[in-house]
Structure 1
Amino acid sequence: MKIGVFFSDLGKTAVYYPRLAKVTGSVTSCIFFGQLLQWRSRSTNPYDWIKITIKEIEEETGLNPREQELARKELIERSLLKERLVNHALEFWLNLEALEEKLHELLHELKSNSTQETASNNLELIPANPASKNEQNIPWQRQPIAVKVTPNYQFSGPWQTPEQFAEFQKALLEYAKEKGFYNPSEWVFKTIDGITKGIVSPFWDEFVQGIPLGESQKIKRDWEIEPGIAYPAFEEERIQYYVQKGEPLEVAVSKARSDLRNPVLGKDLWEGFLRKCDRIADEAIKAKKSGIQTPYLPPSFRDKPNVTKETVMQKLAALSPEFSLNSSNYQKIIELNSNNKIGEDKNLNSSNDPPRVEALQAAYQTPMGRTLVEKQIAEHPEWGYAIIDGEVVDITPF
């Protein structure tokens, strides 16, 4: 067989970047991540989750299910990948922002190491006695590295005292943590280093004036009632767009708010939303003129109460007071388990003294309590309880 024909029968090739493997954790993770990246580039909407089966990945890369599982674990641990189970199928989300930061750190490290290696190996051919041109066997000398090191170096900037400088660093660090920066300390260092080099920073002006960091840099867009908060009807309209596409509600909210934080996309969506509002208003005016007292308005235009932690806690407390967010579900389950153990020690775990069906059913509704209740019922058949269609029921005839 000719070598060309032989290689053509092997199918597609799969390549990887060795430097990217340092970021993803291994060659296997690099190949897996690269395959997902290719599938993402084929999608028309970059905000969609990647829908691909384990079998398809194996056909494209040769990675078996076990190798894919290890690759996913490494990528998730490095915050480069998210996965979810939808209708018994895995979907993936690539965190390209985290990848960009890690690649930037890797390239910076490689560049720094390369510079040090070049400096140590950079020998300039300088004769020991330049005046004697005809001298043979001239010894070569290492070129001196002209780098001055300042002992006890300190940042110099607009701050007046070391205490003020320390307070400014703390404020920057808290701001970076609040914003969720990947490496807050590195961001603080770059910001202060830029100030010492003469770069104007609004953070220092805000710190001196005593206003929260980043407050003066917020821009209120046309579609926002205040910086970063869109009109409720506009936001709800975008949320319903993703809900209609089949996204879970929590994912739809996240995607909608991400779209409205994008100044270019948000502006385009706002213009389309205004046109829709104008059309709805014209139709409502015509309907009123025709004698209709309450013209139709889309759900996004109706007043909705704000969903807060307090409102959710009140509803859960009304439905199940014993296992609401106001109390710890875990503590309730621990107490239930402790009572059962105490009963075992006293030999009281008999059919005459079983726990109430209502208490077991309430505990079974929580993810943590489900396993515990199933275990208790299996260990105590004398209770006469069973789990049928997700309900704890008494199967004894009397």
Structure 2
Amino acid sequence: MQETLACFKAYDVRGQVPEQLNEDIVRRIGRAYAEAIRPGNVVVGHDIRLTSESLKQALIDGLREQGVDVTDIGLCGTEEIYFATAHLGVGGGIVVTASHNPKDYNGLKFVREASKPISGDSGLREIQHLAERNVFEATAKRGGYQTADLLGDYVAHLLSYVDITSLKPLRIVCNAGNGGAGRVIDALEPHLPFTFITQNHEADGHFPNGVPNPLLVENRSPTTALLQSSNADFGIAWDGDFDRCFFFDAAGNFIEGYYIVGLLAGAFIEKNGPQRVVHDPRLTWNTIAVVEGAGGEAVQSKTGHAFIKEKMREADAIYGGEMSAHHYFRDFAYCDSGMIPWLLVAELMAQRNQSLAEMIAARAAMFPCSGEINRKVEDPRALMRAVEAYYAQGCTHIAHVDGLSIEFDDWRFNLRSSNTEPVVRLNVETRGDVEKMKQKTEELLRFIDG
């Protein structure tokens, strides 16, 4: 009987090692990727997890068995694979990483040529089917293997997004969470006028300070505490593979990713003239107001990196942002980066002579938001139907681009269900009314919990 591989998710591969993911499974996935995508040559790399090196070797074996040439860039973050795939002009890229999952997990993220995403509706199901069937085409020749050090090229590309001469000396708290970001900060440091105050800086797959995921409120306090004691200008924290970055102001307050999207969107249009910007449906009003106010066009996309990247290519958008701290850039092969955003924020602070808190304050007051709140529910679909039926009366707009979005004149919300678990995610925002935002959030949570 054909084996079912539970490690295949909506956008990537993730599973517990070795029960759901091991060398044999990864070797088969490598062969399946080669047969489904037919890339010719592939760039591979691995994150800092303890199992990543051995899984990468199994991946390389599988790719080479199917005649694919492999370029191994070694220890890296997810975005370094995006960069390398486009930079080298190869047929695809794969990184061994489980990002912010528990330490006994690992996974794979895939792209094809030009770093175009591979997900459930663009090749991942075919890879899964081939890996599960475990019967592959015979190949005449084993693929080649070489290593490459692209860190210098990658750092040069990151620096191209800012005018280094305009930057001012800043003190920046950096919490790498014992993930991969510290290595890149060290490579950037000689080129920048910043003093980095580092925290959990050394890569350590044991995750002695917990798995790096600053999206969780309980994981933010170390960064906040260091900011409050170090007289720094702002702070950054990353997840394990650093494709997301999270911001803190000088006082240690967490900045919702939603407002960073608006800040960067406005800056790109200001610098480059009228442009399209892609955003997700969870929180929208601030981004739309900023983009349209600057003469640009806001384009909505379903949540998720594959959808955002596809929509950006379709619209030729200069920038795309999700409130979950994913930021996408046209000149970065339409991919997300956790390094480019903080460089741009530092540049804006210098050019505007404002603190991060000052740059965000007016927008946060104009469009206060709840931030994303998760709730476990037994039947997400039934709940969504009940919420829509209850709130449809008197609303000005209902949309189902991603879950359920309902708008009124002065407030709106988005409620969507998780792809992988019985959880719904709620976001609420208002037009300048913090109390109403709190009231409506509590009202919706009572409805969900009840």
| Same structural fold, with TM-score higher than 0.5 when normalized by the shorter chain | no
TM value normalised by structure 2: 0.21
TM value normalised by structure 1: 0.23
Which is helix-richer, 1 or 2? Answer: 1
Which is strand-richer, 1 or 2? Answer: 2
- Higher-Rg member (1/2): 1
**Greater RCO structure (CA 8 Å; 6+ sep):** 2
